[in-house]
Structure 1
Amino acid sequence: MLDSNIRGLFKKIEYQIANLKAMFSKNEKQLLDNLNAFKDENEKFKEYENYKLDKHLLDGQNPHEVTKEQVGLGLVDNIKQASFIDFENHVNAKSNPHNVTKSQIELGNVDNIRQASKADFDNHVNDKTSHTSEIEKSKWNNGQLYKLTQDSGDRLPLPKELNGTDVLSLPAGHYYAAGQYLTNMPTTDDSGWFNIDIFTAVTRKDIHVCRSFDNSHWVGTVHTDGTFIGWERMVTSSNLDVVWNKPTLQSGWKQYVPSDGAINTVRFSKDLAGVVEIKGAVQDGTMGLDTPVFTLPEGYRPIQSEYFIGVASSVGTPGVPQYHRTFIGTDGRVCIEYSSNTTNPNRFLAFGFRFRTK
């Protein structure tokens, strides 16, 4: 029974297998037919696409409508270009084909003349006679451009015109002239030669005037506002020396001579400041305002009458100092007015007085 069932099952299985084979064979054929049909269609499609591609590639009529701007040639005109040969001929042309002028190459002021050779140029550059050194240039550049003297270094002469040059108006410089040709000088009616040095600072001036024959020196200044301050004489050691003068004694007065013989000479002098000094001693004359001992010359007289007390002789008045009173007038009179020694009033009267004349 079992075998019968098994055989029946095998039969059934074989039948099913046969059905499956039949179905597979049918499907396999259909698949192969479909595959071959697809291959045929694909080959046709490829041939057609290749045809269109080849046709597009061979299309020279700008199928994409590309413009000259899109390829960076927007400014190029659609005109005929020169051939390479024409271009080369133009490049190699040396006869100024564009008619360029010298002005166009910034040489309009250059003359058509022969230029120096490099050797000539170098020789000129190295010529130390024609060219100055940097040291000389620096010296010149740093030099003063205003002439203070003549080219020789001497002072500048002023015009020989009477009262012609105002010293105060001169610019900075070093000058010389005789006094009669100058005005606003520290002296008047002076024909001596003068050296004049003027230094300026904006509106201010220092003016130095030196008289050559006696070395007298004056200085004057013009202040910032243009005002002339005046002349001042510069005093030197030699100016402190004075000249002593001996007067002519009058009214019976004599030079006092002591017993020891040491003469106390009567004399007078005047210093640079105008101070007159009288020294010495007299005797035996007549006292009084109308009987001068001597008379001072002009220039040595006081600006007002002066009175002085001096030493008188003590002879006849043992142990008692004596004095006298002297009057000096603006007319130059030097008079002994009074003596305290009534016994010997004119035995000895000494001078030692100083006064100003200006």
Structure 2
Amino acid sequence: MIYKDSSVQFDVNSQIKRIISVNIQYSTQDIGTAKITFKLTKDGEPLPISNATHGKLFMRMADGSEFYVNTEVGDAFEGVLFYVLTNDQIKHAGTVTAELYVSYDNGQSLSVHKFSFEIDKALVDANIAPLAEYYIEDFEDLKADINKTTDEINQTLNEIKAKFDEFENIETKAGAQAKADAAEANAKAYTDLHAAKTDNPHKVTKSQVGLANVDNVKQAAKTDFDTHVADNVRHITADERTKWNGSQLFKVTNDVGGVLVSIGDTDDFYTKIIQSGRRFGTFYSTGKATNAASTNSTRGVFHMTSTDSNGQPSYGYVIAIDWQNNMFTNYLDPNLGWQGWRRVLTSSDLSPTWNSVTLINGAKQDSVYPLKFSVSNNVLWLRGSFGTLPAIGTSVAKFTNKPTQTVDFVVPTIGSYGTARFALTTDGDLRYDGMLANDGASVSRVSFNIGIPLW
């Protein structure tokens, strides 16, 4: 399916929330394609969504219509919900004020955020004025509305019946029909008599109908007109035709300015780009597509510059940017194939920020050289020191940045000048695993200056 997918990111917290404009605009002709994707976070992490979680969306349209609807789950692990506006809802042009709620089976519920977006009335819908609609949540409201409508219909029928009674007093149906039949017969007789006259009874002259202004000259034969119509050279010059035929023939976007190639969850990124042929174009890809640049959705451009003997692109490149503003590149070589995605490093990657480590289980920060951490280019860096080692096998700190497999390493100790063993586990625990050279009785602190890969 093709959607105008607009992404909104909300954090679930108790801070003051004002209605925000999310800079989204749909058209009344976006039928079945106006999709709003909500990415929810809580305490800096994606909000977990399970079978016990229900997303509700309330919308108040510009004409007073109100809708209270269920959202759908886009990605339970990443906290993603979405809703596609119905054919009736998209016809309500103007500013839409909305609020997203999350409720749970245990009775808890959350108001996530209030926001607004726009529905622009398409030119083709200029004369369409949608009626106000309201979503009815229970049967009693529905029953009351039906009873009210029934009373109004009965009142209208009674008024119509009274009008017919008045008409019967004025003229009977049979009498009116007889008069109409007589008028029709008289009119037909007069018309037939007038049509049978051939002596120009109204004395019309050629000047009165404009024939005096027509030259009495010979007209070209139909074959001459047909020859002219078939002569395409007469309609444009040969240079113009050559120029037009040699112009750029490939589109960069689709007909409405959207991406040229859409890559879905079940698609292979490389295959979809190759199928576009030799061209320059734009694309959108979900983060779930095979060989996607990122686990986040991406947008970007591609340029396939040549083809092989089978007409398939053999050289080309792709530039992709995800919604977190990370840039990735890839290159196609006829001998080596796709080179694989490479993320472009930024100034924040090359100049990381150092953060204090929260120690646990009795470990104490060194006042002069406290333990700090930084993450850059998928590497966890540790520097500084701490004292008061806990029991062997005990965690001294916990990180949200986790390696794909446990990493063992050693660091020097101060005081005894020995070596302490540590491990960073796949749960993010910095675990103390004992000493190598002594029993640690005279160790005053351990010192870190190490980078730990997270892949």
* TM-score normalised by the chain length of structure 2: 0.39
| TM-score normalized with structure 1 length | 0.48
Q: Whose strand proportion is higher, 1 or 2?
A: 2
Greater helix percent: which structure? 1
